[in-house]
Amino acid sequence: MRHMTIGHSGIDVSVISFGGLSIGGGAWWNGTDDEESIRAIQYGLDHGVNMIDTAPLYGFGHSEEIIGKAIKGRREQVVISTKFGMIWDKREGTYWNDKGGESIYINVTAPVIREEFLRSLKRLGTDYIDVYYPHNPARAPFLTPVEETVEALMRLKQEGHIRAIGMSNAKPENVKEYLAAGCEIDILQRKYNILEWEFVETNMLPLCREYGMSFHAYSPLERGILTGKVRKDYKLDPADARNALLWWKPQNMPLAIDFVDGLQDICDKNNCSLTDLAVAWLLAQGDFINVICGAHKPSQIEADIHAAGVVLPKEDVDEIRRRVLILKEQMESRQ
């Protein structure tokens, strides 16, 4: 397993992280089994995946609870990143969405940060968190001053309760505001994959290079399309969150599937699967990239571990990008 260092923190991690969204189950992911999720986490740890990414929102705390059970007695082997600021137990903040029968609000005030931090510690069975993220920056109309959020985060770090600070789903202006307020940011997290890279590569990766931050890429498989297992006759349940995603829309999905099928020649050349290709392409973008690989079965994290070992030559990295641009021209011509 290849390793990297998160920003300036000195924290050493595997180049892929175990993604904890699906193990939250419920409205986040159907068909998960808690015992199997625990086995998946432990399989990852046994085979060198030492970073786990989660959030209180995933299963309304259930993901953190499962991780806590899985790492019991092994805390020193694990780097945990979790988040704050998406609350459902009180209607204070900016309304975000309804999910699983709960109304969710964005709230990054100091009292909420401290309260959520303590709850995460209890669920995870730990007394510190390695990387702590605001799940989303403040949004109107409940605009918490950046200084308040940063002060609360830096206090947690100075007290030794967290080792590093990240920002999730932020825009460049959010990052710069946090930095200007004195926040020590070591890692940025956003969606990034073969099909969706323009925003990240135009706006976020330059910031990482300028300030020495790492990048935490989530949704590397575009919720399954990039695995090659999705066929054109696949029907989403009306309640499935993927209905809102660009490449899962009925007019775009057939194009995406044809594109993915067309990558088989590059897979054959590199003796890898389509899943391997998707993860390896991201890792090829820089040694500061860490890829979050969601899993709730040992076989899934086993596949992700194999993907982390695939190193693509530059000509294949560039060829994939060229084909994506052709795909997007095709999509735009149909609109």
> What architecture does CATH give domain 3-334?
Alpha-Beta Barrel (3.20)
Q: Which residue has the higher pLDDT, 131 or 29?
A: 131
Q: How confident is the model at residue 334 (pLDDT cuts 50, 70, 90)?
A: confident
The predicted model gives 121-134 an average pLDDT of: 98
Query: Quick check: 135 pLDDT over 80?
Result: yes
Does residue 167 come out as left (phi exceeding 0), alpha (psi in the -120 to 50 range) or beta? beta
d(CA 125, CA 67): 9
Q: Sheet holding 86-87: strands in order across?
A: 86-87, 102-106, 94-99
Q: How confident is the model at residue 268 (pLDDT cuts 50, 70, 90)?
A: very high
Enumerate the active-site residues.
58
Query: Quick check: 31 pLDDT over 90?
Result: no
The tally of CA atoms less than 13 A away on the side-chain side of residue 3 is: 11
Residues in CB range of 236: below 8 A, 6 or more apart = 242, 243, 248
Look at 117-121, 237-241, 276-280, 309-313 and tell me which has the smallest mean pLDDT.
237-241
For residue range 183-194, list pLDDT tens digits in order. 999 999 999 999
Q: What is the CB neighbour count within 10 angstroms for residue 197?
A: 18
Q: Mean pLDDT for the chain?
A: 96
d(CA 200, CA 96): 23
Percent of the chain with pLDDT over 90: 93
pLDDT at 331: 87
pLDDT at 242: 87
Domain boundaries, the chain: 3-334
The predicted model gives 153-163 an average pLDDT of: 98
For residue range 235-255, list pLDDT tens digits in order. 888 878 888 899 999 999 999
pLDDT at 27: 82
**Tokens matching residue 259:** 């594109």
Query: Quick check: 198 pLDDT over 90?
Result: yes
pLDDT at 87: 98
27 in Cβ contact with 97 (< 8 Å): no
Q: Return phi, psi of residue 249, to 5°.
A: -70, 145
d(CA 17, CA 88): 26
Query: Quick check: 94 pLDDT over 80?
Result: yes
**What is the b/e burial string over 115-146, where b = at least 16 CB atoms within 10 angstroms of the residue's CB?**
ebbeebbebbbbeebbbbbbbbbbeeeeebeb
The predicted model gives 253-273 an average pLDDT of: 97
Q: Helix (H) and strand (E) counts for the chain?
A: 12, 13
Look at 19-33, 48-62, 142-156 and tell me which has the smallest mean pLDDT.
19-33
Does residue 10 come out as left (phi exceeding 0), alpha (psi in the -120 to 50 range) or beta? left
**Per the omega criterion (within 30 degrees of 0), is the bond before 141 cis?**
yes
Look at 18-32, 33-47, 93-107, 285-299 and tell me which has the smallest mean pLDDT.
18-32
- pTM for the model stands at 0.96
> Considering just the CA atoms, what is the radius of gyration of the chain in Å?
19
